[in-house]
Amino acid sequence: MLIMAGILFLLPALLQASTPVQPAPAAVVIAASDKLVCKRRVRTGTLAGYEKACHTRAQWDEIARTSREQWQDLQGTRGSTHGS
């Protein structure tokens, strides 16, 4: 009976020792430019329909830059020294 009590007492320690220790997962660092940003935009051709677009901050910046350049080309203000 005494041997059985000793085994039951040591059993948790024996199980812990035989279980391999898993290292903690490395923290993943996400740069601010890699975070997803979702925006709702009015769908073309309707005022009631919306579409959701998700891109990273860097992608949104590129979309804005491209759009700005296209509008400047259309308006003739890109590269112009006239005005402000």
Long-range contact pairs involving 20-25 (C-beta distance under 8 Å, separation at least 24): none
Q: What are phi and psi of 29, to 5 degrees?
A: -95, 120
Question: pLDDT value at position 42?
Answer: 87
Question: pLDDT value at position 75?
Answer: 87
Longest CA–CA span in the chain (Å) reads 100
Distance of CA 79 to CAs 11, 61, 74, 76, 84, Å?
A: 79, 20, 12, 8, 12
Question: pLDDT value at position 59?
Answer: 95
For 15-63, write each residue's pLDDT tens digit. Answer: 565 555 566 666 666 676 688 999 998 888 887 889 999 999 999 999 9
